[in-house]
Chains A and B, each alone.
Chain A
Amino acid sequence: NAGVTQTPKFRVLKTGQSMTLLCAQDMNHEYMYWYRQDPGMGLRLIHYSVGEGTTAKGEVPDGYNVSRLKKQNFLLGLESAAPSQTSVYFCASSYRPGGYQETQYFGPGTRLLVL
């Protein structure tokens, strides 16, 4: 099993450009998450999904959109990138919180630099 994979690993954007980050998991997990990690702030939840075709906002959703058309994929879009979106983005998945398979599994991260 590959676990959770993320594409791309690193990207540089200019202000105003758009891009999509792809997350894929092969563990048949229901829940998927996008976080951003900034120095001194830990992990902040951007959006999450509790199943195929459903998405919801997390703590810091502004400037981002997501889609979960297939159970194994969770896409994060930036429509018009801003320097404040420079960060490391992590995708995670879990079977379901609160159950014996509640552990979250993380991808390796995408480093995004917006100039």
Chain B
Amino acid sequence: GDSVTQMEGPVTLSEEAFLTINCTYTATGYPSLFWYVQYPGEGLQLLLKATKADDKGSNKGFEATYRKETTSFHLEKGSVQVSDSAVYFCALTSGTYKYIFGTGTRLKVLA
């Protein structure tokens, strides 16, 4: 079945460092891909999405490119801030009722 694998955390970075959180997937068909962010004590919020190969999703300085050849959707940000500290989830849907989530990667940014 469909699955999402993302790098285990925690990831600890200094402010202004470059961020990469890896996400790979297996899916039948042509899934849509998502990154969600969860701040402490809150629900998940959509960060960005991409619906077809080579699409780039972007929001708040974060970017991710849908790579069909490597089945990847890595999250990047050029310069992280303390306020980016959160848990990040990669997810996909293949058009059925199901959304498949990774286990989440905790990011901690130090001032």
Contact surface of A with B, Cβ cutoff 8 Å? 4, 31, 33, 40-43, 45, 48, 50, 56, 90, 92, 94, 97-98, 100, 102-109
Contact = CB atoms under 8 A, between A and B. Distances in A.
Interface in B48-64: 49, 51
B103 A42 contact: yes
Contacts of A40: 103
A106 B44 contact: yes
Interface stretch (B16-24, B67-75, B77-85, B89-97): B89-97
Given A103-B46, A103-B49, A97 B101 contact: no
Contacts of B98: 45, 97
Contact of B43 (A56, A97, A106): A106
Interface of B is mostly: loop
The 5 A-B pairs at the shortest CB distance, nearest first, are namely A98-B95, A106-B43, A42-B103, A106-B44, A43-B101
A40 B105 CA distance: 10
Contacts, number: 58
Given A40-B103, A42-B89, A102-B32, A90 B95 contact: no
Contact of B93 (A56, A97, A107): A97
Interface of chain A: mostly helix, strand, loop or mixed: strand
A97 B97 contact: yes
B89 A97 contact: no
A97 B95 contact: yes
B43 A103 contact: no
Given A41-B103, A42-B89, A103-B34, A98 B44 contact: no
A108 B95 contact: no
Contact of B45 (A42, A94, A106): A106
A45 to B, nearest CB: 7
A34 to B, nearest CB: 13
A108 B43 contact: yes
